[in-house]
Amino acid sequence: MISRLLIANRGEIAVRIARACRELGIEVVAACSTPDRHSAVVEMADEAVHIGPPAPRHSYLHVPNLIEAALRTGADAVHPGYGFLSEDPDFAEICEMEGLTFVGPPPEVMQQMGNKATARRLMADAGLPLLPGVVEPVRTAEEGRAIADEIGYPVIIKAAAGGGGRGMTVVRAPAEFADAFTATRAVARAVFRDPAVYVERYLTRARHVEVQVLCDGHGAGIHLGERDCSLQRRHQKLLEEGPAGHLTPRQRAELGALAVRGALSVGFTGAGTVEFLVDDAGAYFMEMNARIQVEHPVTEVLTGVDLVREQLLVAGGRRLQLRQEDVVTRGAAIECRINAEDPTRGFAPAPGHLDVLRPPGGPWTRFDTGYRQGDDVSPHYDSLLGKLVVWAPDRDQAIRRMDRALAELRVEGPGLRTTTALQRALLRHPDVRADCHDIEFLDRCLPDLLVEATALSATPTATLPAPRGPLQLVPAPSDQDWPGPLAHAPLTEGTPP
């Protein structure tokens, strides 16, 4: 069992980890950069260690400083959170070499899942369905163009080492391919230090569905349902919800079983997600995130399972106590990422001093943040201010509760702007309320949504009108209409004990 843990992160996820540690009786060491020396997690921790100046490469990405901080304070484990070094296999390996428990999967699994081309190949070997494309990196534009011509347009060129929504380019016509290939390789080299890219078919009008998995180091694994993450801008999620109401019970069960199968096939341990693109024809593996997700609270409020707690227990060597039949999803949940960004200026970062930070209240309303009123939102880090999460008995009530909570949330300060008005506009759009949007919806409708967001900013207390009768939802397809993920991936075995 872990007794003392260094949190190698900051902000809301650092606070979230610290709270889980407190409940388990684990002592907390907070790693903090110069601007974070008086942050909320520092005040919560048993000990805090200064790890460097503001720039991430000299602090939260500086492995020697983090390892030294853990060893000097007597920590026996390190939790990387998300972002920063959370998916860096070298960091995980160094932790192991220094006798520190890394709260996450083994380094070799992180290496495999971090390379999207390798992940595609391994998941195909495990029987997960893939979109038409290749499982090996494409070396030249000519080679890639030939693949695209064969599988049909549109296609997407992806950085093999990519993540966080970067290093992806959609190509809709052959004439665009060469320039897109060159540009994507350049981004991959600059951002991920690896120019390798691969090509696969791009789905239009698809939904982004991720399945939450939890596996221990003893061969057992379960899934905890799914989240729909289709409301995203340029592959960056803005709002997540669960369950995915457009799935049938059979789809939901099949995707869950596929996710567990894929995770166990590569020796995954801990909390992670297996992500799929879903359309009327089926579901296709997209990637696996070998870490806790930003949007994990959606699953927590739906199932009552504390995912960070389970992560810590599994990392400490305990077998999973949960069985698949123990997992029950109730109601509907929505999470909005409250970002310090200005949507009217291309989502440019808009940090500043928090003169006012007043979270909303009310039943089944949760606000996870690492900031307090009076703090400064630093320009050096991710723009996430906090995560607003609501639960309700059904999706329509959850939308109404989130709209009310967003209107109630107060974030004020010189220069500060947030995404709250845009998120209210999103939730009020007829296509979103009817659950018939797709992964391109936000980019496609952004101009109109910004107009609505401006109007809502002028009248922040405006409430959603009461429905004149039942909300007309687009019905999910029946199980009889669902062709299954792929004929070659039958689901015969159960989850290992």
How many Å apart are CA 30 and CA 35, to the nearest integer?
13
Angle between helix 11-24 and 307-315 (nearest 10): 70
Q: Which of 16, 207, 252, 291 is catalytic?
A: 291
Q: For the CA atoms of 120, 487, 485, 331, what is the dihedral angle to 10 degrees?
A: -140
218: left (phi over 0), alpha (psi -120 to 50) or beta: alpha
5 alpha-carbon distance from chain centroid: 23
Q: Please, are residues 333 and 402 in contact by the beta-carbon 8 Å criterion?
A: no
The DSSP call for residue 376 is B
The DSSP call for residue 177 is H
The structure tokens listed for 160 are: 């093999």
The structure tokens listed for 55 are: 């720039």
The structure tokens listed for 402 are: 């989130």
The dihedrals phi and psi of 264, each to the nearest 5 degrees, come to -70, -30
> Looking at this protein, which amino acid is placed at residue 394?
D
The structure tokens listed for 82 are: 């998300």
- Bridge-based pairing state of the strands 207-215 and 155-163: unpaired
291 assigned to active site: yes
Which residues does the annotation mark as catalytic? 291
